[in-house]
Structure 1
């Protein structure tokens, strides 16, 4: 089975997605994008997580049509893993093509179900990678925060003794609904007040990472106009068992720290080169809802590559 679908984001979709996740990055702002020094995109661009949320929807529909949902349960494939490289920005009004390659399934040893995915924008490559369903997380599998105590007692937007930056968010259904709408998705598949159905989509809690990274940079007095950074890749593992148990207003504790190979500098420094961040989303008793490796690079390097 092989599938291609086409969609278009408008500026309204971008605004709804960024408002629902508190993403104040100037790249998405229709009034202030031009303040970014040497911005090559000449207009606001979509959010990376917004684009990935659309991909989440496409792969979910692909799974249902291929009758693959039962495989996830039968083989204990509790983790959704996304790995994407960003090749180009997506702007409002551009035609998006999401291409999903046939599923690859392994039942022996490390069981898994995977699909290669490509997203084009007006015919140009925008996103390339895959989604894999596995029994264990593919990324940062050894991380353990069981000894961190009650994170609710720690101040929001604070640096912990371990070096992690803590950002506290809350899983509100209204924001999740808006994020779904901004991602061209049907909110009724996840939320129905009359039936008391609350099911948060996989990418919504992960999308809150952007605001956490931005607030961390703000704490470091980063100049978003002179020294903009852009995503180059996302590697994300999500525990669907914990996701299924989330309720409205549940606290999500996001912890962020530069990876070991990026520890010599940080997002807040004007001289920063490419950066990798270890990011975690913790819920009750510090259970790990998601873990992610987020890569950023200065816009100047992107601009030079486009020249």
Structure 2
């Protein structure tokens, strides 16, 4: 038993999403996509986090219909985990189908509720992976930032002694609302001024990672036109308890550095190979809101693998 939904992202949805997250990647720009060397997509494409936000909404509906909230609360499954590989790009005005397979619950020492997910566009596989609920983060669980001190004292877009690149963002309700609209979701589920309701969706703070990665690359004088990079996979764990405590205008400190087992080069090198980044979103005295392993590869490598 599984669930299938069909949707369409227009260029306006893409623009609203990239503007709400400060994503200036040329791949999503309705005019400047043409500047990308050997761009095989022949037009602007949707954002990875935009697709994952759509999946977040579909999964929330799935959980409600399956009446799984009691199971999640009973086992303290407070971490929301996303694990996706990107197989193909989705362009504006293409049909998008999200297929959610039946839930699998493993009640072991670390209980996990899991669903396999496939996203197709015009009948072609675009994204595949899993959405999992767990009692502990499934990725980068050992990370600890209690000794970093007050990150507000460090300059935005600076490098810390720990080796992390620091990007400071703020949780603004207007951007979160636009992000929801751009990912085909109902903002009233999270925001209602008359009822004094303010809640942020899981994927919104994570989506700010894109602008942080782009700004890190910009600081390294990366050539976005001649050496474009694309996502190959995302592995993300979100702490829902921290998420519920977020308030409007709270600071979000995003930390990024290459993974320890990744190649010894950075995003800005001209002939860079595939690279994994460890990324963290810290709030409220360095509590970890999200942890993410983000894998990037040069477009030329992707084209070669497809050829």
TM exceeding 0.5: yes
**Structure 1 residue 93 corresponds to structure 2 residue 93:** yes
Number of residue-to-residue matches in the alignment? 307
Q: Which residue of 2 aligns with 1:305?
A: 305
SS in 1 for 2:200: coil
Q: Which residue of 1 aligns with 2:119?
A: 119
Q: Which residue of 2 aligns with 1:258?
A: 258
Q: Which residue of 1 aligns with 2:29?
A: 29
Match runs of 1:146-157 below 5 Å: 146-157=146-157
Alpha-carbon distance between aligned partners in 2 of 1:206 and 1:72, rounded to the nearest angstrom: 22
**How far has the Cα of 1:263 moved from its partner?**
5.0
Alpha-carbon distance between aligned partners in 1 of 2:153 and 2:35, rounded to the nearest angstrom: 38
Alpha-carbon distance between aligned partners in 1 of 2:197 and 2:284, rounded to the nearest angstrom: 20
SS in 2 for 1:262: coil
Q: Which residue of 2 aligns with 1:129?
A: 129
SS in 2 for 1:136: coil
SS in 2 for 1:213: helix
Match runs of 1:1-307 below 5 Å: 1-307=1-307
SS in 1 for 2:194: coil
- Any unmatched runs of 5+ in structure 2? none
After superposing the two structures, state which structure 1 stretch, 263-272 or 200-209, moved more: 263-272
- CA deviations on 1:22-81 (whole Å, 9 max, x unpaired) are 000000000000000000000000000000000000011000000001111111000000
- CA deviations on 1:139-165 (whole Å, 9 max, x unpaired) are 000000000000000000001111100
**How far has the Cα of 1:99 moved from its partner?**
0.3
> What is the TM-score when the length of structure 1 is the normalising length?
0.99
- CA deviations on 1:60-118 (whole Å, 9 max, x unpaired) are 10000000011111110000000000000000011001000000012232111100000
Aligned CA-pair RMSD: 0.7
Alpha-carbon distance between aligned partners in 1 of 2:256 and 2:205, rounded to the nearest angstrom: 14
SS in 2 for 1:116: strand
Alpha-carbon distance between aligned partners in 1 of 2:106 and 2:68, rounded to the nearest angstrom: 13
After superposing the two structures, state which structure 1 stretch, 255-264 or 191-200, moved more: 255-264
Alpha-carbon distance between aligned partners in 2 of 1:302 and 1:291, rounded to the nearest angstrom: 25
SS in 2 for 1:49: helix
- CA deviations on 1:163-221 (whole Å, 9 max, x unpaired) are 10000000000000000000000000000001111110000000000000000000000
Alpha-carbon distance between aligned partners in 2 of 1:199 and 1:243, rounded to the nearest angstrom: 8
> Given the superposition, is the C-alpha separation of residues 110 and 261 from structure 1 closer, same or farther in structure 2, using an over 3 Å criterion?
same
**How far has the Cα of 1:303 moved from its partner?**
1.4
**Structure 1: which 4+ aligned runs deviate by more than 6 Å?**
none
Alpha-carbon distance between aligned partners in 1 of 2:71 and 2:176, rounded to the nearest angstrom: 27
